[in-house]
Amino acid sequence: MKPTQLIAMLSIAFSGAAYASEAHNHGKDHTPAHGGVVTEVNHSDYELVAKPDVLQLFLRAEGKSVDVSQGTAKLTILSGKEKQEVELKPASGKFEAKGEFKVAPGTKAVALVSLPGQPAVSVRFALK
């Protein structure tokens, strides 16, 4: 498969998952607490704050912050034809990476998050 085909296929998959996540409503508040984009997976909220110089991933379960100090997270960013993979490190109650990132509106991102004693979770985001 050509890289452009893979990117197109992933973009379509990401947009569908993000839409499905935003379309449901079961009485929970999924409002971004940090100005990012929120996606719910397995009854937990994942909020991605993506800026050109910093990426932050916050986790909440039942409205409370989740301890990420022993966890790991990797983020794959798809911006146009470009792909960037970033390792996020635990930092003050969130995962974070600093550097240079292409995060314009329309950028797709997928995070792979692992927490002790839990299966890894894949979380998809569409930046606005």
Instruction: Let me know if domain 3-126 sits in CATH 2.40.10.
Output: no
Burial class from Cβ neighbours inside 10 Å (0-12, 13-18, 19+) for residue 82 reads exposed
Q: Where are the chain's structural domains? A: 3-126
**Contacts with 110 (C-beta within 8 Å, 6 or more apart), sequence order:** 10, 14, 75, 76, 122, 123, 124, 125
CA distances (Å), 74 to each of 55, 63, 71, 85, in order? 11, 23, 11, 7
Which amino acid, one-letter code, is at 49? V
pLDDT per residue rounded down to tens, the chain (128 residues): 555 444 444 444 444 444 444 444 444 566 766 679 999 998 899 999 999 999 999 999 988 999 999 999 999 999 888 999 999 999 999 999 999 999 999 999 999 999 999 999 999 999 98
Answer yes or no: are the C-beta atoms of 55 and 88 closer than 8 Å: yes
The tens digit of pLDDT for each residue in 39-48 reads 999 889 999 9
What's the distance, Cα to Cα, between the start and end of the chain in Å? 29
* Prediction pTM value: 0.76
